[in-house]
Structure 1
Amino acid sequence: MEPTSVRYPAGGGPPGRPQVRATVKHLRTEVVGTAFVLKLALCAALTALGALLALQAPIAARIPGTLLLGLMFAHAAELQHQALHGLGLRNRAANAVAGIVLGIPMLISFSAYRATHLRHHRDLGTPANREFFDYGDQYGVQGDRSRTGVALSWLLRFSMLRHYAAFGASSLRAVRGREFAGETASTSRRIRRDHYVILAVLLGSVAWSAAAGSAAVVWVWLLPLVLVAGPVHAAIELPEHFRCETLSEDPFANTRTIRSNRLMTWFTNGNNYHVEHHLMPNLPIERLPELHAEVRDRLIHFQPGYVKYFRELVRGR
């Protein structure tokens, strides 16, 4: 699947964000906290079910439990994304609390993710653009490589090894009370706080599991994270900008939308409507399908489903 040149639909060139926003300004509404609370409740219930199954003795229960936990860890990261944009709850502090908790399973600092991600929205289309999750060949622009190099690149992406290494390095910096490069003193302070919370939960879980002579932390956290959540999260994020025109500042050129079924739209928390999200980052997640209906004829990078997208990616189309 090679990067395509920008070809706008009949009727002209790029509409630009101001034009789009002026056309769809009627979609702007206040954040509905009730919808997010329901999402949190469902995620918590499914996570609890997964933990219950993973702690059962029969392997026939542990495997689906581990799978469900990993899926919910990845889903929680998508809910965290909504919170960092201030689109979950109406209160900023409440969004931060929810975001911190949602990031614990996948070792994601809410404040670090928020700071980096908001800059990503600002800088996408320029050489200054950086993503929070580092997958190495971030957008699939590297030239010809050996089969070994290609295999290693995909292994690094779907294992999310760079993320775990970055978490370890950031945790060490936080424990030492250091500032974080490129961040203000207040943001660095919040990033340290997030790492203290995650480390406390992680170390407490390991200590309790060891004291109880149980492998619970392995089944309920380590295996779901490494074997399921990491690869699934990487798969959710891959289509966003992969092999798009990421040095163009036009969201229709640098971002991809995937119109999927209701289950996947819920699971990715609307992340499939990614062009729409970059056009209007502060639009409530629940209204992205309506924005999609307004702009779908202008989309350049578009797929009707995740299966089709990954099938074509594997085929090299």
Structure 2
Amino acid sequence: MSTLTRDRLVTSLQQLSQSGGADNKLVVVAGDYYVVVHGRLGGSDLAVEVVSNFYLGGPSQLTPARLRSLGDRGYFERSGYNNLFRDVRLVGADAAGKLADELMALFAQIFGVEADAPASFELQLGDPEPTRNPDLVRAMKQLAVRRDMDARQRVYVAVMNATFLMPVNPAGRTSDEPLEVDRLGNFPVIAAFTEVDSLRLWQPKGWPFALIPGARLVPLAVSRRVGSLLVNPRGNVGGELYINELESIEARCAAATTERRLVRRGGAMEGEFSSAATLTADERRELYARRDGPGVLRFAVQLGLLLAAAVATVALAGADARVFWPVFAAYCVLLASMFAPTHEAGHGTAFASKRLNRLVLRIAGNLSLLPPTAFVAFHFEHHRKTHEVGDPEVPGGNLELAAWPKNPIAALVVLSGLPLLLAKLAALVNLAAGRGPKWFMKWMPWLPEAQRPATIREARFMVAGLAALALLAWLVWPPLWWLLAGGAGAHVVLGPYLAAEHTGMPTEGDVLARTRSIRSNAVVRWLFWNMPYHAEHHGWPAVPFHAVPALHRRVAAGLPRRYRGYLHVYLAALRGR
């Protein structure tokens, strides 16, 4: 490894404007710290990028005093980026030397890295004509707004006509072997970028890439049987294509037949996560169709029943126990069932209307004590890493906790729903208090930084509502306490319902092997929007709730974990199955 010296910096800085193209970079790394200097062929204007605490962990993080010192030196945040920047113009005979002196002082005084310390220098010379792909970016933006077939087809055409920057594996057998950036179950995930700026948002220090046409990238991804292809991960405009989408796009080139979708991160989930069974194009067209009617009718009836049960609970608080407790129990069950429309609207599949999905997600999410923004991010991460390391539903990422508790008392506590309720309340209180980045990185690492302010606002609204209801119960009308008590009762229902989805299942293999399909009865399926068919949902998350029974009939024979009902699940668990 090289050492950090002024002469090496001067030589490297001069090369930024003497060779390469429009996006040259000098990356200087010393320990956990790095500086990226951006320049262009023939240009005197440079941008100096300094690593921020966003990318630094634990003891390496910069103190407030050192961050202020960076600000005094002219380094500030730049919109859309997480590091700190300062613009510099090289003017004069020794301009590169002066900048090298500044960088040496920065490493010593801000990062604590003295001269001659081990350091790496990487000069990344850009293409004279950098890839931009305006047609694809424009098409993805239009699809995010319109989400209709015409917009979808424009994206597919643009993908095939685009030229991507594909990160490659430096240790690969060939120069264009794609880099595995993540895992989706047992399948690799690869990435591609529409331009250099998007690649830098993903990896500020840069990464070796190959220029590859979309017409070659899609067949390459299909041939390698990737789990998905990420387009501009961490970028401002991007999306994710799952393996069956890629197969459909590849087929579209030959036959112009695709019913699949490229969506921006955070939109409705598309694709098929299971390789155990596939659907034909006609079946996908039928099953993926979204409608407003079924969701509007079900949510209206469900919410009406909940409100009626809430009013009856308060009105009958002093009535005979034989009358009150059945009404209160019904209220608890209906309140618990609000999780179902929260979940479905979070996927964007409860309705065809994007506005209705957002509205119901907000209403049902508040009743379920789930800030909508955070829930969507949490749940999408759960789908990407179902019942494996990284699944946010597995406490602390400890796969031992993905199994049934061996202690009977611990099992009863889990099934009571009490840990879930306490976790929700703790999260709401901490969010309402406006916790900082360290708290989010520890407890909500799956929540993008840009979504934290909205999550805090939503949590504060919920905490204010709970506090107002408690105050009314205390000062005005004590029977209102029963509405709050119903929150605990709802989690007694949710405890065994949610635990039955994945607990005790294998933590490897196809997603269908890690998820149960529970037939249950018509009442439970109606209340929970057909989500007892949970393996079906995880295998084909884009199928709306009203089409899940039809999906079950098509794929049931290939499901390895089928159960008649919840009693069957727990009897099997007692027998160790």
Q: CA deviation at 1:265?
A: 1.0
Instruction: Identify the residue that residue 240 of structure 1 maps to in structure 2.
Output: 501
Larger radius of gyration: 2
Change (3 A) 1:165 1:252: closer
Normalising by the residue count of structure 1, what TM-score does the alignment of the two structures yield?
0.83
Contact 1:113/1:132 (<8 A) preserved: no
1:201 partnered with 2:461: no
- Which moves more between the two structures, 56-65 or 110-119? 56-65
- In 1: Cα distance, 2:402 partner to 2:425 partner: 22
1:255 partnered with 2:515: yes
Instruction: Identify the residue that residue 168 of structure 1 maps to in structure 2.
Output: 426
- In 2: Cα distance, 1:111 partner to 1:229 partner: 22
- In 1: Cα distance, 2:276 partner to 2:300 partner: 36
Q: How many residues in Structure 1 have an aligned counterpart in Structure 2?
A: 294
- In 1: Cα distance, 2:404 partner to 2:422 partner: 24
Contact 2:313/2:482 (<8 A) preserved: yes
Q: CA deviation at 1:237?
A: 1.1
Unaligned runs of 5+ in 2: 1-272
Q: CA deviation at 1:166?
A: 4.3
Contact 1:133/1:163 (<8 A) preserved: no
Q: CA deviation at 1:233?
A: 0.7
- In 2: Cα distance, 1:121 partner to 1:42 partner: 29
Q: CA deviation at 1:16?
A: 4.1
1:189 partnered with 2:449: no
Unaligned runs of 5+ in 1: 1-14
Instruction: Identify the residue that residue 10 of structure 1 maps to in structure 2.
Output: none
Please tell me the residue identity of whatever aligns with 2:294.
A
1:265-280 → structure 2 map (5 Å cutoff) = 265-280=525-540
Instruction: Identify the residue that residue 5 of structure 1 maps to in structure 2.
Output: none
Instruction: Identify the residue that residue 78 of structure 1 maps to in structure 2.
Output: 340
Change (3 A) 1:20 1:299: same
Cα offsets for 1:233-290 (capped at 9, x unmatched): 1111122112222222x12211110112211211221111111101110111111111
Q: CA deviation at 1:30?
A: 2.9
> Where is the strand percentage greater, Structure 1 or Structure 2?
2
1:100-115 → structure 2 map (5 Å cutoff) = 100-115=362-377
Cα offsets for 1:28-56 (capped at 9, x unmatched): 33321221111221112211221232122
1:76-225 → structure 2 map (5 Å cutoff) = 76-124=338-386, 126-131=388-393, 138-140=401-403, 145=406, 149-176=407-434, 178-179=436-437, 180-181=440-441, 182=445, 183-212=447-476, 214-222=477-485, 224-225=486-487
Change (3 A) 1:116 1:221: same
Choose from 22, 27, 31 the match for 2:290.
31
Contact 2:394/2:401 (<8 A) preserved: no
Instruction: Identify the residue that residue 6 of structure 1 maps to in structure 2.
Output: none
Please tell me the residue identity of whatever aligns with 2:288.
T
1:286-297 → structure 2 map (5 Å cutoff) = 286-297=546-557
Normalising by the residue count of structure 2, what TM-score does the alignment of the two structures yield?
0.47
Q: CA deviation at 1:134?
A: 8.3
Aligned-partner SS, 1:104: helix
Contact 2:520/2:532 (<8 A) preserved: yes
> Could you say which structure has the greater relative contact order, defined with CA pairs below 8 angstroms and 6 or more residues apart?
1
